[in-house]
Amino acid sequence: MQIFLFIGLVVYVIVFPALCVFAWFRGGVTERRVATAYMIAAIASIFADLFGNHWRGPNWGVIIVDIVFLVVLIVIARQSTRFWPLWAAASQLAGCLAHFPAIMNPAFPKELYVSTQPYWAVPLLVSLMIGSISAHRQRRIWEKSDRATSGIGPRIPI
């Protein structure tokens, strides 16, 4: 069990901020929006958890933050021409649905509730990584091609 806690710590402390910084500096508009929204949601979740009931029942502060973040991801996915925001919104939807057992049964074991919540962030991070790498690669191809001197902009918004 401790190896899973270590992996989660590495993901949230090292990989998540590094991926957000990569998305901010190398991604397109969609990647920057999702990275910013994700960072705000992560910080808001930390504060909501500090003032919540510490997973002894439904953690309403975290639930509200997760639902607001889901709505933001859906809006971003609807405005984007990219494919990966749909994946991010789908993984956030699964993370929101993981709250329902604790809502339906307040006596739900907190170990199960706590263990199901953070794993839905991994597919969201992977989709953000795919989108950021794709946008960066597409920008580099555009800069090296003849279109960079022809005045035609890149296919992705920068």
70-98 pLDDT tens trace: 999 999 999 998 899 999 999 999 999 98
N- to C-terminal Cα distance for the chain? 42
Mean pLDDT within 47-53: 77
pTM: 0.84
Q: What is the pLDDT confidence band of residue 3, given thresholds at 50, 70 and 90? A: confident
The 10s digit of each residue's pLDDT in 17-30 is 999 999 999 999 99
Q: Is residue 50 over pLDDT 60?
A: yes
Distance CA 30, CA 32 (A): 5
Nearest-5° angle of CA 71, CA 122, CA 86?
40
pLDDT bin (cut points 50, 70, 90) of residue 148 is low
137 to each of 22, 54, 148, how far by Cα in Å? 13, 42, 14
Tokens of 133: 């790498």
